[in-house]
Amino acid sequence: MKTNFKIAVLPGDGIGPEVVAESIKILGAISEAFHYQFDFKYGLAGADAIFKTGNPLPDETLEICKESDAVLFGAIGDPSFDNNPDAKVRPEQGLLKLRKELGLFANIRPLKTYSSLIDKSPLKREIVEGTDIQIFRELVSGIYFGEKFTDEEAGYAYDICKYNRDEIAPIVHMAFQEAQKRRKKLTLIDKANVLDTSRLWRKVCKEIATEYTDVELDFMFVDNAAMQLILNPKQFDVIVTENMFGDIISDEASVIGGSIGLLPSASIGNENAMFEPIHGSYPQAKGKGIANPIASILSTVMMLDYLKLDHAAEKLRASVEYAIENKYVTVDLNSEQPYSTSEVGSFIADYIKYSEKTYYNFENVKIGKSTIV
């Protein structure tokens, strides 16, 4: 069994470096507890890379990623670009290029709810409780990557949305297979009443459905889906959708559970995979030690799953759940007794290493006592 792994680490901008540092700390604890070796190679990406090299994705970074078993990504984005529509080079271009170059066609965004956090949700408890959705977003095609054009003088611009069968089928298969392992319901979100690309998605989905007869396939227009997600999120099991609808729907879904700071994602290709929190670079929080590291840590769980380190993944998942259920969390989730980004990471790392040792009493953490008894 493989025990050595090359991990490319791209901390990026804003709170990216802080939250990724906690994931690295935790991988340290995993190596200790399970005797794996992770070799980390760092690369520049995003605004940080633009400031240092002029390029949001230097070739060297791409090489490091291609040679890795998995990529851990922080966040990118910087206000100096957001407020400047004329900027020729933008941090986001680095992320899009990385997705394309690594062929990361499937972006998986799970949404789970934690009972201790439901009161943080903007929705009512009875609507939210029990929500468990997996969103499969196509990531390397559609309007994001179609031809673009701007004629400044004429005040004219366009972005083309294109799909072909070969870009749709692989992610649809993945989504069906995931539904088979879960509640056996797959919903395609589209705009088939208006868009040709959506009609193609429906056709391909219907054809592929004949190979997965145990899964119920549903279709929903994206405008209705935006409404249904907050009216009755529990009706969804696995969702599959094209690039831009997936971008929008997954941000909407991310607040259902109480904090965007909890949601991880995996971007999977045939040869590469990248793991990153859904949240952005949150520049206002940079350096303050208040960023929630859990989305990055849960992205690390998805990475361990992908690397087939099942026991480590299970242990880390349970450790995160323990931290959340015991309110050992950052200020977004616990304003009365908040813990810092690195305290949360250290707690989870310690839990991995010591929770099965009898001299360590994690119950004491809740009442602010020392954990060593």
We find the least distance from the C-beta atom of residue 145 to ligand IPM, in angstroms, to be 11
Q: Which of 144, 163, 328, 339 is catalytic?
A: 144
Q: Which is nearer to ligand IPM, 139 or 313 (CB)?
A: 139
Q: Which is nearer to ligand IPM, 13 or 332 (CB)?
A: 13
Quick note: the x/- pattern for ligand IPM over 3-42, rule CB under 6 A, is ----------------------------------------
Q: Which is nearer to ligand IPM, 69 or 92 (CB)?
A: 92
**Is 114 annotated as catalytic?**
no
Quick note: the x/- pattern for ligand IPM over 91-110, rule CB under 6 A, is -x--xx--------------
Which 216-275 positions form the footprint of Mg ion (CB under 5 A)? 247
What are the backbone angles phi and psi of residue 133, rounded to the nearest 5°? -125, 140
* Contact partner at residue 95 from ligand IPM, Mg ion, none, CB < 5 to 8 Å by partner kind: ligand IPM
8-state DSSP, 262: G
Q: What burial class does residue 116 get, using C-beta atoms within 10 Å of its C-beta: 0-12 exposed, 13-18 middle, 19+ buried? A: middle
Cβ atoms of 174 and 181 within 8 Å: the answer is: no
What CA–CA distance (Å, rounded) separates 213 from 220?
19
Which tokens is 113 given? 């709810």
Distances (CA, A) of 165 to 170, 203, 219, 222: 9, 9, 18, 20
Q: Which is nearer to ligand IPM, 143 or 174 (CB)?
A: 143
We find the least distance from the C-beta atom of residue 177 to ligand IPM, in angstroms, to be 23
* Contact partner at residue 60 from ligand IPM, Mg ion, none, CB < 5 to 8 Å by partner kind: none
**Is 350 annotated as catalytic?**
no
Element (H, E) at 8: strand 4-12
Q: Which of 20, 97, 87 is nearest to 56 (CA)?
A: 97
Residue at 294: amino acid letter: I
**Is 332 annotated as catalytic?**
no
**Is 223 annotated as catalytic?**
yes
> Which residue in the set 60, 247, 343, 350 belongs to the binding site for ligand IPM (CB under 6 A)?
247
**Is 251 annotated as catalytic?**
yes
The number of beta carbons lying within 10 Å of the beta carbon of residue 285 is 19
Total of chain residues touching Mg ion, rule CB under 5 A: 1
Q: Which of 191, 234, 286, 327 is catalytic?
A: 191
Q: Which is nearer to Mg ion, 178 or 276 (CB)?
A: 276
Residue facing ligand IPM at closest CB distance: 92
Q: Which of 330, 367, 334 is nearest to 348 (CA)?
A: 330
Q: Which is nearer to ligand IPM, 92 or 343 (CB)?
A: 92
Total of chain residues touching ligand IPM, rule CB under 6 A: 4
305 lies in the binding site for Mg ion (CB under 5 A): no
The number of beta carbons lying within 10 Å of the beta carbon of residue 192 is 19
- DSSP per-residue string spanning 118-178: GGGSSS-HHHHTT-EEEEEEE-SSGGGTS-EEEETTTTEEEE-----HHHHHHHHHHHHHH
We find the least distance from the C-beta atom of residue 198 to ligand IPM, in angstroms, to be 19
The number of beta carbons lying within 10 Å of the beta carbon of residue 373 is 10
Q: What burial class does residue 19 get, using C-beta atoms within 10 Å of its C-beta: 0-12 exposed, 13-18 middle, 19+ buried? A: buried
Which 74-93 positions form the footprint of ligand IPM (CB under 6 A)? 92
Query: Which residues in this chain contact Mg ion in the complex, by CB under 5 A?
Result: 247
**Active site amino acids:** 144, 191, 223, 247, 251
Query: Which residues in this chain contact ligand IPM in the complex, by CB under 6 A?
Result: 92, 95-96, 247
